[in-house]
Amino acid sequence: MKYAIISDIHANLEALEAVFEDIDKNETIDDVLCLGDIVGYGANPNECIELIKQRCPVSILGNHDAAAVDLLSTQHFNIHAKIAIEWTTKELKPKNKEYLTTLPSKKILDPITLVHSTPYEPNMWYYITSLEEAAFNYQYFDTSACFIGHTHIPVIIVLNKDDEVYVHQGSNYQVSGAERVLINVGSVGQPRDRNPNSSYGIFDTDTMEFSFRRVTYDIEKTQAKMRKIKMPEFLANRLVEGR
Ligand code: ZN
């Protein structure tokens, strides 16, 4: 199977549509999988949920999705995220709220595991920001590859046959032999690696090849919508800088 794997859409419809357009140009892709945070920050939570529901046979629950339907308190969210969640909760249609409550925290489609935050206790919403944290997390999944989102920063972390854990530099990787990988596919709707273009990944379970894709979208249109609903200016501004 060849999967496109997307994450952290954050109600950015222009970005999501641009990513699906890019995916649809590639006729060899069988399915699109979503790692969560469909909503929060952006102006189109309902439209993004409806598109994901229609296009993704698997979608994982993100912390912003959970907060939008009261499955998670926003006490640990920063002020901008809190304001966005309050607006989102009011905006969501009942059937879309219902959809979010059905999402799983983890899904295994051997040889891949899908979670939003970390394979260790996915409902605790930890972040993987160091090699030590990555090394620890390899004990908590059994497949060759685990795909994550949550930090909005794309990265390929390899565990090689000698038990060494390192970051692979570059946008492609071929998993070979007994190697295992932990891959953050980056964010569709709010990239934070100083590249404002939407990020997603493609993984082929037959060849075990992974590659990142970056896609441009109409950021100004997204920002105008966010300003119209009075989202904090910081959230609109950060999209241009990809941070
Ligand atoms: Zn997110």
| C-alpha–C-alpha distance, residues 37 and 58, integer Å | 13
* Cα of 238 from ligand 1 centre, angstroms: 14
Task: Set out the domains of the chain in order of their start, with CATH numbers.
Answer: 2-241 (3.60.21.10)
Cα→Cα distances 174→35, 145, 160, 179, 208, Å: 21, 11, 12, 10, 6
* Cα of 188 from ligand 1 centre, angstroms: 10
* Cα of 151 from ligand 1 centre, angstroms: 7
pLDDT tens, N- to C-terminus, the chain (243 residues): 999 999 999 999 999 999 999 999 999 999 999 999 999 999 999 999 999 999 999 999 999 999 999 999 999 999 999 999 999 999 999 999 999 999 999 999 999 999 999 999 999 999 999 999 999 999 999 999 999 999 999 999 999 999 999 999 999 999 999 999 999 999 999 999 999 999 999 999 999 999 999 999 999 999 999 999 999 999 999 999 999
* Cα of 161 from ligand 1 centre, angstroms: 32
Residue 6's closest CA among 45, 47, 34? 34
Instruction: Measure the CA dihedral 42/236/85/149, to 10°.
Output: 70
Q: pLDDT over 90 for what percent of the chain? A: 100
* Cα of 110 from ligand 1 centre, angstroms: 25
